[in-house]
């Protein structure tokens, strides 16, 4: 009985670590997308396409289909907001933790 409890605690810890790892990946990808859009001078760029092409084969690549991003332009500031469904250890556990939501900013560069 103790083994079941310990296994549950261990798998819960692994799930939280997976959530944190995926959040860190998404923060970095959104920041890179915002900087790319700022350099390109493209206000109609699609951050999801850019993140998809640069995401790599991380653990969260299976949940990339749930990624939703929006770009906003405020004067000289580009803002990228992304939301991703939390991956699970097995597909049945997807969405157990709250969705990952990040915001990234970059200042548009002038050429």
The string of DSSP codes covering 6-69 is: HHHHHHHHHHHHHHHHHHHHHHHHHHHHHHHHHHHT-TT--HHHHHHHH--S-GGGGGGGG-EE
Asked whether the predicted pLDDT for residue 13 surpasses 70, the reply is yes
pLDDT value, residue 91: 60
- Report how far residue 5's alpha carbon sits from residue 70's, in angstroms, rounded to the nearest whole number: 41
pLDDT one-digit tens code per residue, 14-56: 888 888 988 998 898 889 888 888 887 665 657 777 787 777 6
Residue with tokens 């350099």, as numbered in its chain:
39
Residue with tokens 């699970």, as numbered in its chain:
88
Could you tell me which residue, 6 or 43, shows the higher pLDDT? 6
Q: Residue 91 carries which DSSP code?
A: G
């Amino acid at each position: 009985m103790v083994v079941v409890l310990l296994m549950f605690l261990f798998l819960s810890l692994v799930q939280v670590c997976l959530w944190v790892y995926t959040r860190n990946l998404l923060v970095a990808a959104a920041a890179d997308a915002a900087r790319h859009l700022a350099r390109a001078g493209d206000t109609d760029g699609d951050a999801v396409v850019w993140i998809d092409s640069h995401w790599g084969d991380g653990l969260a690549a299976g949940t990339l289909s749930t990624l939703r991003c929006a770009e906003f332009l405020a004067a000289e500031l580009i803002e990228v907001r992304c939301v991703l469904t939390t991956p699970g250890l097995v597909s049945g556990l997807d969405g157990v933790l709250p969705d990952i939501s990040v915001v990234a900013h970059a200042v548009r560069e002038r050429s």
